[in-house]
Amino acid sequence: MINVNHATIEEAAILAEMQYHPADSQQAAMAKAAESLVIGELFRQRAAELGIKVKDESKEASDDDFLAALIEREVAIPEADEQACSTYYQQNPERFTTSPLLEVRHVLLAAAPDDELDRVNAKMMAEQIIKQLQEGEDFGQLAQKHSACPSSATAGSLGQVSRGQTVAEFERQVFTADLGLIPNPVETRYGFHVVWVDRKIEGKQLPYEAVKDKIAAYLDEKVERKAVAQYIHTLIQDAEIKGFDFAVSDSPLLQ
């Protein structure tokens, strides 16, 4: 049992709450469920102290309903002003730049991530194909002959590729490469790729006026999350809680 300012949370309630808190172990799920119930109880107790009545005609009022009512009453959350938005835009230009576009061809030498022998052989074959290309052999013919990707039917062409369209490990290496043949195989979860970058169109920075509303919304949400976490922390600090230790909690609510 857990006591929150002398209100009891029974083990049965924790077990019932566990279904909403998947975790790697039963113990971790129980801890998350208990934490949620404790915080919910603190919300309800504080709302009662302030005489706040939270009603939802369609269902029982949730923890979020109580928290929203409490935040509205007790927490002043500042909104991001023009200066804050402009500063964020200037300090984070990469966040407001369109993705570069690449025209790419590749040959995929497929190998499962957990098959070490296959991966060694795939890398050796990729290195051999790179050498053949450096000696002047035709990329399309080699793609049709060796590539395990459906793009082999189009001479290995992937067409235009932007960020987010390929797996992260492919993107990380290809988008920073120079035009032409990448001199080393590109390793991904699928195997090894021989890659030729035919064209690169650099991304363009979006104008401030086009993104300032999104920046303001992002900064407002960030400030609100921090204010909510501080408010919950204050409720916990002021409460008498037995049977649960927030000192070992990794809840994002408290970060």
pLDDT tens per residue, range 177-213: 999 999 999 999 999 999 999 999 999 999 999 999 9
- Sheet of 241-242, strands arranged across: 7-9, 2-4, 241-242
Average pLDDT estimate for 30-50: 94
156, 188: one domain:
yes
> How, if at all, do strands 101-110 and 191-201 pair?
antiparallel
Shared domain check, 58 and 36: yes
Do 104 and 195 belong to one domain?
yes
Contacts of 133 (CB under 8 A, 6+ apart): 139, 142, 181, 194, 196
Would you state the pLDDT for residue 57? 54
91 is a domain residue: no
How far apart CA 216 and CA 238 sit, in angstroms, is 33
Same domain, yes or no: 24 and 109: no
Looking at the domain assignment, is residue 118 inside a domain? yes
Q: Read off the CATH number of the domain in which 193 is found.
A: 3.10.50.40
Stretch 130-149: mean pLDDT, rounded?
96
For 179-214, the DSSP string reads SEE-SSPEEETTEEEEEEEEEEE---BPPHHHHHHH
Angle separating helix axes 82-91 and 208-238, nearest 10 degrees: 110
Per DSSP (E only), the strands in 91-246 are 101-110, 157-161, 180-181, 186-188, 191-201, 241-242
Q: Is residue 110 part of a domain?
A: yes
Q: What is the rounded CA–CA span in Å between residue 102 and residue 71?
A: 47
In a domain, 86, yes or no: no
Same domain, 107 and 194: yes
**Alpha carbon distance 103, 186 (integer Å):** 16
User: What pLDDT, on a 0 to 100 scale, did the predictor assign at position 55?
Assistant: 73
CA angle centred on 86, ends 80 and 87, rounded to 5° = 90
Within a domain: residue 117?
yes
Half-sphere exposure in the Cβ direction for 139 (13 Å, CA): 21
User: In terms of domains, do 166 and 214 share one?
Assistant: no
Predicted TM-score (pTM) of this structure? 0.60
26 pLDDT above the threshold of 60: yes
Beta-carbon count within 10 A of 246 CB: 16
Asked whether residue 158 falls in the same domain as residue 218, the answer is no
Structural domain contains residue 90: no
- Tell me, yes or no, whether 23 lies in a domain: yes
Q: Same domain for 58 and 31?
A: yes
Question: Does 89 reside within a domain?
Answer: no
Mean pLDDT of the chain: 92
- Can you give the residue range of the structural domain that contains 170? 98-201
Render 66-87 in DSSP notation, one character per residue: HHHHHHHHH---PPP-HHHHHH
Q: How many domains does the chain have?
A: 2
Same domain, 151 and 75: no
Instruction: Note the pLDDT tens digit of each residue in 62-84.
Output: 889 999 999 999 998 989 999 99
User: Which pLDDT score is estimated for 223?
Assistant: 93
Phi and psi torsions of 55, nearest 5°: -130, 145
pLDDT value at position 245?
A: 87
The residues, any chain, with a CB within 8 Å of residue 117's CB and separated by 6 or more, are: none
pLDDT at 2: 94
The reply to whether 225 and 194 lie within a common domain is no
Is the predicted pLDDT of residue 162 greater than 70, yes or no? yes
CA distance 71 to 100: 42
Given pLDDT bands bounded at 50, 70 and 90, which one contains residue 249? low
Q: Judge if 192 and 115 occupy the same domain.
A: yes
Please indicate, yes or no, whether residues 194 and 214 belong to a single structural domain of this protein: no
pLDDT value, residue 53? 87
